């Protein structure tokens, strides 16, 4: 979670345990129609598909298909009610399904909340497919998906929609609608906080609630998390996005609880809110039931997808294995025994980066890896003073929930990139409800004289509050001072924008990777428009960012 979340929680007097962090306080298809649950109106005790369809984790020969069937009217998400229901899925290269490429049957049961997954294989690489589900005469909306390029192919380009942080109560999901309306995306990458766990008014605060979610209380049990996921998938723009493009998703903290770590969370009170391990298990079970995501190592979301020889996408889970967050300003952020990745995942990432023959290494990280500090000191003073005072050696971190709070892991990873001459590494990040374009320096205090290891694109939130939202002031007021302070102390930050909500579009070619940043006009307007904000790119072999004068498309 961001420091902005913490401020909002305190402002609304709903966060029971939050201490505001001082640094932040100072600072190719037409849109698929989704007209109802299914094409055939369902009787009260007949199956229906009110939560739409989705696809995810595309491969050269397959894709994961998802839906949720409601077998009878009272079989609501999390209810545990409803009979076993046979669901048939079909995949075809044409929307009319005249030539079915694959077909199968799955039995949906209350044990999995009547969610349905089909891991389809035997498809052709780099091909658009259409899919649908049927049950008891009801037909789901038709979805569109796309397989990836063959493992050894050399695609001319890759284009991904990139999103993060969608708080239902904070606004409408117009960003999803605009991405769904694009015909040029290979997939959509969701970098976490797909749902939020708070009770109504917990974040962004009672006076910031645009629409109320279900359940009204904080999600704690399996039934709660199932109901919250079910609420999200009634949003027409989210359903349209899922029905139009395959999704690649990782989780962050709010899929479970704010500022989660391996042994607990800021937003979890042992005893009063049950056992932490049981809550995590419930949240993860609901996530894998309701998301078009393949469980990976030990039931986490870290895994790797390939887009031919153009790009490998390394996806991280930065909540399941991390040590508890250090306090703000504590030298514990440098403790080599503390970790954000866990030993196994960091070794997996390093090995995958070294072994890859792809032109680009894309790393999906739910929290920012670039160092961000206030009051930077000259390099020759920073180390000795930090040692004397027990301060972080890389400066006073703004947010120890990010990689800034786990500098040993970051140093090991960036050193691995340097020593292995691993070029063209791009970190793709969400979490902080603001948009950034960063060089990732090996030593921030001596940048730009010292080398950079990678670049980083951070996308803003779909709806979750940013600084001006939290303070309830007009855009470009409080954020101006915060932006100036960040830029002054962090020369590797090429751009930061703290006022907008929206999404990014990443375009990758063998020659460069470019992020186009877009903003929606008003998150409280369900018909909000969109506008281009800024574009940055990194050229192959440089590990440095430059501004682009126009979006790719």
Residue 25 banded pLDDT, cuts 50, 70, 90: very low
pLDDT of 504 higher than 80? yes
**Cβ pair 304, 361 in contact under 8 A:** no
Q: Are strands 187-190 and 158-163 parallel, antiparallel or unpaired?
A: parallel
**Cβ pair 487, 493 in contact under 8 A:** yes
Q: In terms of Cα–Cα distance, which of 253, 277, 329, 318 is closest to 19?
A: 329
pLDDT of 3 higher than 80? no
pLDDT of 22 higher than 50? no
d(CA 411, CA 418): 10
**Cβ pair 211, 268 in contact under 8 A:** no
Kindly write down the DSSP assignment for every residue of 251-310, as one continuous string: --STTT-TT-BTTB-TT--TBTTB-HHHHHHHHHHHHHHHSS----GGG-S-EEEEETBT
pLDDT of 15 higher than 50? no
Residue 43 banded pLDDT, cuts 50, 70, 90: low
Q: Poorest-confidence range of 12-26, 237-251, 285-299, 384-398?
A: 12-26
For residue 11, CA distances in Å to 18, 96, 212, 433 come to 11, 53, 19, 17
**Cβ pair 482, 467 in contact under 8 A:** yes
Helix axes 343-355, 407-419, angle to 10 degrees: 20
Among the four given CATH numbers 3.40.50.150, 3.20.20.150, 3.40.50.620, 3.60.21.70, the one describing domain 3-32+142-151+158-548: 3.60.21.70
d(CA 440, CA 199): 37
Q: Cis link prior to 339 (omega < 30° from 0)?
A: no
Secondary structure of residue 415 in the 3-state scheme: helix
H helical segments located in 94-252: 174-180, 222-232, 236-244
Q: What is the dihedral of CA 90, 93, 97, 99, to 10 degrees?
A: -100
Residue 218 CB: number of other CB atoms within 10 A? 18
- The two tokens of residue 180 are 């769904």
Q: Where are the beta strands (DSSP E) in 343-393?
A: 360-365, 373-374
Residue 4 banded pLDDT, cuts 50, 70, 90: very low
Identify the residue with better confidence: 395 or 50.
50
Q: Poorest-confidence range of 5-19, 219-233, 389-403, 525-539?
A: 5-19
- CATH code given to domain 42-141: 2.60.40.380
pLDDT of 201 higher than 90? yes
pLDDT of 321 higher than 90? yes
Exposed e or buried b for every residue in 394-408, given b needs 16+ CB within 10 A?
bbbbbbbbbbbbbbb
Domain boundaries, the chain: 3-32+142-151+158-548, 42-141
Interval 92-104 mean pLDDT: 96
pLDDT score, position 1: 55
Give 206's contacts (C-beta < 8 A, 6+ positions apart): 12, 14, 200
**Cβ pair 426, 398 in contact under 8 A:** no
The single residue listed with the structure tokens 């180390």 is 383
pLDDT score, position 244: 98
Give 35's contacts (C-beta < 8 A, 6+ positions apart): none
Residue 97: left if φ>0, alpha if ψ -120 to 50, beta else—which one? Answer: left
Helix axes 222-232, 276-290, angle to 10 degrees: 30
Surface-to-core class of residue 516, CB atoms within 10 Å of its CB (0-12 exposed, 13-18 middle, 19+ buried): buried
Interval 524-543 mean pLDDT: 97
pLDDT score, position 383: 53
d(CA 138, CA 421): 55
pLDDT of 497 higher than 50? yes
Q: Poorest-confidence range of 37-46, 209-218, 472-481, 538-547?
A: 37-46
What digits encode the pLDDT tens for the residues 211-239? Answer: 999 999 999 999 999 999 999 999 999 99
């Amino acid at each position: 979670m961001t420091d902005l979340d913490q401020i909002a929680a305190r402002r609304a007097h709903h966060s029971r345990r939050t201490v505001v962090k001082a640094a932040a306080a100072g600072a190719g298809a037409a849109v698929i129609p989704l007209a109802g649950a299914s094409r055939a109106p369902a009787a009260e005790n007949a199956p229906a598909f009110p939560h739409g369809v989705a696809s995810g984790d595309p491969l050269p020969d397959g894709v994961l298909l998802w839906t949720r069937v409601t077998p009878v009217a009272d079989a609501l998400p999390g209810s545990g009610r409803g009979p076993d229901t046979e669901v048939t899925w079909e995949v075809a290269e044409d929307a009319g399904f005249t030539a079915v490429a694959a077909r199968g049957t799955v039995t949906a049961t209350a044990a999995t909340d009547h969610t349905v997954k089909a891991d389809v294989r035997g498809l052709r690489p780099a091909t658009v497919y259409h899919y649908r589900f049927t049950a008891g005469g009801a037909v789901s909306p038709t979805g569109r998906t796309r397989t990836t390029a063959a493992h050894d192919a050399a695609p001319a380009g890759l284009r991904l929609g990139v999103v993060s942080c969608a708080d239902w109560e904070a606004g409408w999901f117009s960003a999803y609608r605009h991405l769904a309306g694009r015909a040029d995306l290979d997939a959509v990458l969701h970098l976490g906080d797909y749902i939020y766990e708070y009770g109504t008014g917990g974040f962004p605060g009672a006076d910031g609630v645009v629409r109320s979610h279900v359940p009204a209380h904080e999600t704690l049990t399996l039934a709660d998390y199932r109901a919250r996921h079910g609420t999200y998938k009634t949003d027409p723009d989210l359903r349209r996005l899922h029905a139009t493009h395959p999704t690649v998703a990782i989780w962050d903290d709010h899929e479970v609880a704010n500022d989660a770590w391996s042994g607990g969370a800021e937003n979890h009170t042992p005893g009063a809110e049950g056992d932490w391990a049981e809550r995590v298990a419930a949240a993860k079970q609901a996530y894998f039931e309701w998301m078009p995501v393949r469980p990976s190592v030990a039931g986490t979301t870290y895994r790797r997808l390939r887009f031919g020889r153009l790009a490998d996408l390394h996806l991280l889970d930065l909540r399941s294995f991390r040590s508890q967050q250090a306090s703000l300003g504590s030298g514990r952020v440098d403790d080599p025994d503390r970790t954000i990745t866990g030993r196994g995942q960091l070794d997996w990432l390093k090995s995958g980066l070294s072994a890859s023959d792809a032109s680009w290494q894309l790393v999906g990280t739910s929290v920012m890896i670039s160092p961000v500090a206030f009051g930077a000191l000259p390099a020759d003073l920073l180390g000795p003073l930090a040692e004397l005072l027990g301060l972080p050696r890389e400066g006073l971190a703004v947010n120890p929930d990010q990689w800034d709070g786990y500098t040993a892991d970051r140093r090991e990873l960036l050193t691995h990139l340097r020593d292995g001459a691993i070029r063209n590494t791009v970190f793709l990040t969400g979490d902080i409800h603001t948009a950034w374009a960063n060089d990732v320096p090996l030593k921030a205090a001596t940048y730009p004289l010292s080398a950079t290891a990678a670049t980083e694109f951070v996308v803003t939130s779909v709806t979750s509050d940013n600084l001006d939202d939290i303070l309830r002031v007009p855009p470009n007021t409080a954020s101006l001072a915060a932006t100036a302070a960040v830029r002054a102390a962090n020369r590797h930050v090429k751009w930061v924008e703290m006022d907008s909500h929206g999404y990014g579009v990443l375009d990758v070619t063998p020659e460069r990777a470019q992020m186009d940043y877009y903003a929606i006009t008003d998150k409280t307007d369900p018909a909000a428009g969109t506008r281009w904000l800024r574009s940055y790119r990194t050229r192959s072999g440089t590990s440095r960012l430059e501004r682009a004068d126009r979006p790719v498309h």
